Amino acid sequence: MSDSQTTDPQTTDPQTTDPQTTDPQTTVAELRRLIDDFVDRRDWHQFHSPKNLSMSLAIEAAELMEHFQWLSADESRKLAEKPSRLAAVGEELADVLCYALAMANELGIDLSTAIRGKIAKNERKYPVEQYRGRFGPEDGR
């Protein structure tokens, strides 16, 4: 089936088209609860050791990378123009985030605090005036 024939779950799935469930209307706490409820109802906390979750997260990240493995940088940017491929990438990205949220739940890590702290650290590490348009110290521009 070509991309033009494929139904786009991003636009047809009621879970994603309900304007009340999109990113601007959803809190991190709601997503954490969603994951926790899913895991709880299956009695899967017993399998969610930090070791297993960190491995699962890396495995899902590898599945995400598979979608881009043989593409050029330009081709990878154009993937967003193909609805079925974008939906597949969205599913893998969701897998990664689900495991990240599950890990935060198991370890009691407040993600908002952790992310804000990490961004503050990176702001100091990569000052805008020094790194704007440069990817890092190795970028000789």
Instruction: Kindly list the residues in this chain that would bind Mg ion in the complex (CB under 5 A).
Output: 60, 63, 92, 95
Q: How far apart are CA 67 and CA 88, in angstroms?
A: 8
Indicate the residue among 96 and 104 with the shorter CB distance to Mg ion. 96
In the complex, the smallest distance separating the C-beta of residue 117 from Mg ion, rounded to whole angstroms, is: 28
Give the nearest residue (CB) to Mg ion. Answer: 95
Token representation of residue 7: 């139904």
Using DSSP, state whether 37 is helix, strand or coil. helix
Task: Specify the residue for token string 């990664």.
Answer: 96
In b/e form, how buried is each residue of 114-123, taking b as 16+ CB within 10 angstroms? eeeeeeeeee
In the complex, the smallest distance separating the C-beta of residue 100 from Mg ion, rounded to whole angstroms, is: 13
Indicate the residue among 29 and 68 with the shorter CB distance to Mg ion. 68
Indicate the residue among 60 and 104 with the shorter CB distance to Mg ion. 60
In the complex, the smallest distance separating the C-beta of residue 55 from Mg ion, rounded to whole angstroms, is: 13
